[in-house]
Structure 1
Amino acid sequence: MTLQSELTTATLAQDFAVIPVLDLKDGLVVHARAGKHAHAGKRAEYRPIATPFGPPHDGAAIARALLGITFSPALYIADLDAILGRGRNLDMCRHLGQALPGTELWIDAGFAQVGDCAAWLPLGATLVVGSETIADLAAWEDLRAAFGQNVVLSLDFDEQGLRGPERLLADPALWPKRVILMSLGRVGTETGPDVARLEETLQRADGREVYVAGGVAGLDDLAAVEKRGARGALAATALHSGALGQKEIAALVRERRSQV
């Protein structure tokens, strides 16, 4: 059995998704430096990505390679210019959607209210709403009511705790079906995900799909969060560095299948 057929047969996408991340800035794919993230500020430190998967101006080539490694049903796109409020990479995202038929685009473009989303709706994308961009609960309820299951809530954490309305964290009834635990200080560090926060969140998630983001370094991290019940993990640095590849993901599939 080939690696590709093994992954396909195991239906990785239906069980545990390793979702690759693209950060876009000034029409290029850029990369978060250790300890920095699009939501965390320090955008000047983002540089065009250096990766074996393609040049920074060819987001489609890079995305295809990452999706080929992970067999993910989705691609997470952070439009840093939109988050900064200085423009947007809408044309590039439109091109990615056309180049990647069948891939669900999760787009984080600094959505704060329903009106921010209009230009993105023709892409058929899933909207990722970061807690740090939510001004108040009324704005969040409007977004959730308008877009239903096409919204993913990213609970954004820094060293001080949640960025955004505290009630969003305190009351899981406010969460949509899919929630991301975004550890901003771990993005780009490969220091491991926040397993303790994941465990605490899953105890209150009431069947919601919980994803982790920030710090994923390799197979052990994926296995740790999958074992605890996470629905998936977002990854970038480990994929570009080669620390996490097809073989590692296939190993996770084999391990899970052996336990069934």
Structure 2
Amino acid sequence: MDNQYEGKIFLFKRKNISMEIIPVIDIMNGKAVHAIRGERNNYKPLKSIYSDISDPVEIAENLPYKRIYVADLDAIMGDNSNFKIIEEISEYKRVILDSGIKHSNELNLYRDLSINPVIGTETLESMENLKENLQISEEVFMSIDIKDDRVISPFLDLTPLKCFELFYGKGIENFIFLEISSVGTMSLPSFDYLDKINKKVKVLVGGGITKKDIKKLKERNVFGVLMGTALYNELV
């Protein structure tokens, strides 16, 4: 479409601080939902100025940002995916997509769309699966999913820093650090491990982040922030 990706500049700029703000849309049962602390059974339809019916496509179209992060919660939990919705969203925005990818054949679904797939530690089943996925696409983001200072994973028992070192050693350069316990709370996690991350790596962070947190995160070599609750509450 002719107006693909139209929108405002999505960088937060103030006093030499420049950082990308990436809105988050969590999708469950075809609706955009308000995520809180990873307690998915308690998620409610998202109320926002961008859609009065919690329509994820309408929200994406109306958001004045060029890139968004989409979590397909149904796919992550092993239920039916929201592929058609995500396909439509990708007509309006560039998308970073977490759909709970486990195997390389799932990556093929999105190869022709304007999407950067996410491989998350929560759903990655083995290092062999990771190797297969990287052979399909090098444009992935590795999401290190964290709760109570430990990585959420079916096979890894690591701190966030040790997990980063493991995946960075596999050639991955785009990372998301997602503090699940802080999602939706507007309460910034410590992110202490960021001080030890290689400065050449592109890092996005998510979990409880508000506008006032941006300066301190920029000082810790963060390229961009995933923002949901604060944005939809019009605090950005």
Correspondent of 2:147 among 128, 141, 158: 158
Other structure's SS at 2:131 match: helix
Equivalent residue pairs, number: 218
Where in structure 2 are there 5+ consecutive unaligned residues? Answer: 1-7
Mapped contact 1:193–1:221 kept (Cα < 8 A): no
Amino acid of the structure 2 residue aligned with 1:155: I
Q: Displacement of 1:10 after TM fit? A: 7.7
**How far did 1:8 drift?**
4.6
1:127 is matched with which residue?
117
Instruction: Report 1:98-137 matches (<5 A).
Output: 98=91, 100=92, 103-137=93-127
How far does residue 145 in structure 1 lie from its aligned partner after superposition?
Answer: 2.3
Instruction: Give the conservation status (yes or no) of the 8 Å contact 2:75–2:82.
Output: yes
Runs of 4+ deviating beyond 4 Å: 7-12
Query: How does the TM-score come out when normalised to structure 2?
Result: 0.84
Tell me, which stretches of 5 or more residues in structure 1 are unaligned?
A: 1-6, 245-260
Distance 1:96 1:9 in 2: 17
Contact 1:168–1:175 (8 Å) recurs in 2: no
Deviations 1:47-74 (A, max 9, x none): 11111221244323322343x1xx4x42
Residues 107-156 of structure 1: CA deviation (Å, up to 9, x unaligned): 100001102223232323110110121111111122122201x2000011
Kindly provide the CA deviation profile for residues 19-42 of structure 1, in whole angstroms up to 9, marking residues without a partner as x: 000001111111113xx22xxxx3
Does the 8 A contact of 2:97 with 2:116 survive in 1? yes
Indicate the RMSD between aligned Cα atoms, in angstroms: 2.2
Whether the 8 Å contact between 1:27 and 1:57 is mirrored in structure 2 is no
The aligned counterpart of 1:19 is 22
Partner of residue 90, structure 2: 97
Counterpart contact for 2:121–2:145, Cα < 8 Å: yes
TM-score (norm 1): 0.77
Aligned pairs (5 A) from 1:1-260? 8=9, 15-33=18-36, 36-37=37-38, 42-66=39-63, 68=64, 71=65, 73-98=66-91, 100=92, 103-148=93-138, 150-164=139-153, 165=156, 166=158, 168-171=163-166, 172-200=168-196, 202=197, 205=198, 207-218=200-211, 220-244=212-236
Identity %: 23
How far, CA to CA, are the matches of 1:9 and 1:107 in structure 2? 18
Relative to structure 1, the CA distance from residue 174 to residue 133 in structure 2 (aligned partners, 3 Å threshold; closer, same or farther) is same
Q: Match of 1:179, as an amino acid?
A: F
- Structure whose residues are more often helix by fraction: 1
Asked if the contact 2:11–2:21 (Cα under 8 Å) also holds between the matched residues in 1, the reply is no
